[in-house]
Chain A
Amino acid sequence: DVKVTQSSRYLVKRTGEKVFLECVQDMDHENMFWYRQDPGLGLRLIYFSYDVKMKEKGDIPEGYSVSREKKERFSLILESASTNQTSMYLCASSRGGGSTNEKLFFGSGTQLSVL
């Protein structure tokens, strides 16, 4: 089965720090996504990528950027972390490559706390 691995389960950072969240998938998927999960707000899309070096903004991109230099790896970057970015971050991937409405495979999430 597809495995989506997020580098850290828990992360504690200070306000103003630059933060990198890493995600790797092992099934040659074209599409990768970053969501943030907050109680009462569900999952909200931050950024997604349909191909290497390609990125598109989701619904809440402010304060975030992404990098996809290799097909299997999708990084989320918080340029200057703020307390309102304390959240659970979920990475996901799907097959893509012209097919649509495909199953998303999620990682286990990174709980980020910004102090």
Chain B
Amino acid sequence: GENVEQHPSTLSVQEGDSAVIKCTYSDSASNYFPWYKQELGKGPQLIIDIRSNVGEKKDQRIAVTLNKTAKHFSLHITETQPEDSAVYFCAASIYTDKLIFGTGTRLQVFP
């Protein structure tokens, strides 16, 4: 079955710097790659997603890139702010809503 690996497990950046989180997936049939953000005491929330027919997608300060050949996708956050501090999860799925999640990245943004 599908397996998703996520790196790094923790990431500390200075406010205003960029942050990059990387994920790889194993099943080349995967077609949907969402990113979820989990703040303390809350459930994960979708922040951005990308489908296999697109190479890059941006939404203000966040962007996701997909390399189908290498089977990896990345989350890029620019101009980080303290409120970006959270745990981020990547995920993959094959034409269903059944998501396989990565192990998570704890991002800390220091003022």
A-side residues, CB < 8 A to B, are 4, 31, 33, 35, 40-45, 48, 58-59, 90, 92, 94, 96, 100-104, 106-109
- Say yes or no: A106-B45 contact (C-beta < 8 A), given A45-B98, A48-B98, A100-B97: yes
The reply to whether B104 and A42 contact each other, CB–CB distance below 8 Å, is yes
* Chain A residues whose C-beta falls within 8 Å of the C-beta of B51 in the assembled complex: 101
Query: Which residue of the partner chain B has the closest CB to A93?
Result: B97
Query: Which residue of the partner chain A has the closest CB to B102?
Result: A42
The listed residue (B9, B43, B100) touching A109 by CB distance below 8 A is: B43
* Chain B residues whose C-beta falls within 8 Å of the C-beta of A59 in the assembled complex: 1, 100
Query: Which residue of the partner chain A has the closest CB to B99?
Result: A104
The reply to whether B95 and A100 contact each other, CB–CB distance below 8 Å, is yes
The reply to whether A31 and B97 contact each other, CB–CB distance below 8 Å, is yes
The reply to whether B103 and A92 contact each other, CB–CB distance below 8 Å, is no
B93-111, CB under 8 A of A: which get 1 and which 0? 1011111111110000000
B36, B42, B89, B98 — most chain A CB neighbours (10 Å): B98
B31 at interface (Cβ–Cβ under 8 A)?
yes
Main secondary structure of the interface of B (DSSP, over half): loop
Query: Which residue of the partner chain B has the closest CB to A101?
Result: B32
The listed residue (B44, B96, B97) touching A43 by CB distance below 8 A is: B44
Query: Which residue of the partner chain B has the closest CB to A9?
Result: B41
Chain B interface size band reads 20 to 34
B85 at interface (Cβ–Cβ under 8 A)?
no
B74 at interface (Cβ–Cβ under 8 A)?
no
B46 at interface (Cβ–Cβ under 8 A)?
yes
* Chain B residues whose C-beta falls within 8 Å of the C-beta of A43 in the assembled complex: 44, 89, 99, 101, 104
- Say yes or no: A101-B98 contact (C-beta < 8 A), given A106-B44, A108-B42: no
Bound form: Cα–Cα A40–B102 in Å: 9
- 5 additional contacts, CB 8 Å, given A42-B6, A104-B46? A40-B103, A100-B97, A106-B44, A106-B45, A109-B43
- Say yes or no: A101-B101 contact (C-beta < 8 A), given A4-B43, A107-B43, A108-B43: no
